[in-house]
Amino acid sequence: MSLRDPGSDLDIQVYFQPPPASVLRGAAVVILDILRATTVHAALFAGEAGAVYPVADFSAGISLRDAIPDSRLIGEVGALPPPEADYGNSPTEFESLDVRGWTVVHVTSNGTRALVNAIDADLALSGCLRNRSASIDYLLSRKSERIAVVCSGDHNGSAPSVEDSFAAGAYVDRLRRLVPDARLRGGARLALKLFQSYARSPSRAFADSPHGDHLRQLGFQADFKYAGDIDADSTVIVLAVDRSGRPVLKRIPALPH
């Protein structure tokens, strides 16, 4: 399937931390939070969850859970669920549950904040390593002139993260293969070099991740294998708004091949 003319204009940009919302206007955007918010989204929608509402903080999350009947509040503070959460932020936890039809309110330190920040983009996806190819195919099908890969980062998005930067390079690598004439801006070139420096191995990148160290100490090692399984599923997860104007993630069918 031809997703884009080989000679067409395409700018590929990578932001190692979420930029101001205005920067993303006019772009097709994919948000990455590999450990673990956007990987959790892949697990939920692979299990046929109905909708996920990304929220920036737990105060707003509690209010939204109370406003949406039968919804569940999930997420983390310091990688662990606070008392008010119904579930945590581990993709392997949701892989083992029957989540069919669930409506989820999701709060994390980095990823859900970055998604809310991208609401004014022309198109925004929740992306991870597991749905890399499916997400890229969908982005290219939209014929955007600018694709922005946004890393959620660490410490409320105030610092880059190794795992998100590595994953951004994985996205750039596939984009470059599909659209060889695309223009790689500075961040995209750096992310690609990082991906190559780890020999395209998620486990090597995760081993160098300070946040990964924190998760290991808490006993979440199983999440690394799940998060690092590149192109394991075809889940495409789009950020939209509901009838009340609230950001919400929905699964759409992957493009046929």
pLDDT tens sequence across 204-254: 999 999 999 999 999 999 999 999 999 999 999 999 999 999 999 999 977
Task: Pick the closest to residue 122 from 93, 151, 148, 99 (CA basis).
Answer: 148
Is residue 106 within 8 A of residue 112, CB to CB? The reply is: yes
Calculate mean pLDDT across residues 61-80.
97
C-alpha 127/C-alpha 25 separation (Å) is 18
Q: Which residue has the tokens 């950020």?
A: 239
Residue 190 CA to residue 15 CA, distance in Å, equals 10
How many degrees, rounded to 5, is the angle at CA 131 between CA 95 and CA 116? 85
Report the run of H or E that residue 106 belongs to, with start and end.
strand 103-107
Q: What is the pLDDT of residue 36?
A: 98
As a whole number of Å, the CA-based R_g of the chain is 17
In this prediction, residue 1 has a pLDDT band, given cuts at 50, 70 and 90, of very low
91 Cα distance to chain centroid: 13
Whether residue 2 is predicted with pLDDT greater than 80 in this model: the reply is no
**Residue 61 near residue 107 (C-beta atoms within 8 A):** yes
pTM, two decimal places:
0.95
Give 7's pLDDT tier (boundaries 50, 70, 90): very low
Give the three-class secondary structure for 216: helix
pLDDT of residue 3 exceeding 70, the answer is no
What are the pLDDT digits (tens) for 141-162? 999 999 999 999 999 999 999 9
* Separation of alpha carbons 145 and 143, rounded Å: 6
Burial 209-233 (b: 16+ CB within 10 A, else e): bebbeebeeeebeebbebbbebebb
256 vs 121: which has the higher pLDDT: 121
